């Protein structure tokens, strides 16, 4: 992780992904799957991830809410969104925030990268660069 990312983490206690993210690692991830199939794959993958607890799933909205405890004991709230781009493509975006004040020292950033890495490994054959 870069020094810049650590400095940002001193002040910020949240991180999110999206099409307009400046950091290329935080860009939305796209998969050549219908939203329903992507939803099934993402939910089953997240439920198997060590250290993450699925709290809530709202399939019609496409959101999965997770919780994760850091080594320092802080709790992170993570929302994974599965978005329908077109009938054969779905996007996955992630918002991660730490409870409490002060920064997160980049733990939300690392959490997002961890989730994306796991999803990309599981859905490698469907990964695409966008619409």
Got the DSSP string for 67-94?
EEE-TTS-EEEEEEEEEEEETTEEEEEE
Residue 3 in this model has a pLDDT that exceeds 80: no
CATH number, domain of 104, equals: 3.30.310.80
- For residues 129 and 109, give the distance between their C-alpha atoms in angstroms, rounded to a whole number: 21
Torsion of Cα atoms, 108 then 113 then 115 then 118, to 10°: -160
pLDDT by residue (tens digit) across 30-86?
999 999 999 999 999 999 999 999 999 999 999 999 999 987 788 999 999 999 999
Q: What is the pLDDT of residue 119?
A: 97
Comparing 18 with 7, the larger pLDDT belongs to: 18
**Residue 50, both tokens:** 């060590």
- For residues 128 and 89, give the distance between their C-alpha atoms in angstroms, rounded to a whole number: 9
Q: HSE on the CB side for 70, CA within 13 Å? A: 20
Domain that holds residue 75: 3-128
Count of structural domains, the chain: 1
């Amino acid at each position: 992780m870069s020094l810049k990312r650590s400095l940002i983490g001193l002040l910020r206690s949240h991180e999110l992904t999206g099409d307009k993210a400046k950091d290329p690692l935080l860009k939305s991830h796209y998969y050549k799957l219908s939203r329903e199939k992507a939803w099934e794959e993402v939910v089953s993958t997240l439920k198997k991830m060590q250290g993450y607890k699925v709290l809530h799933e709202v399939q019609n909205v496409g959101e999965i809410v997770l919780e994760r405890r850091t080594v320092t004991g802080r709790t992170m709230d993570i929302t994974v969104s599965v978005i329908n781009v077109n009938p054969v493509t779905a996007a996955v975006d992630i918002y991660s925030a730490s409870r409490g004040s002060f920064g997160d020292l980049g733990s939300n950033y690392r959490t997002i990268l961890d989730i994306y890495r796991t999803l990309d490994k599981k859905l490698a054959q469907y990964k695409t660069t966008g619409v």
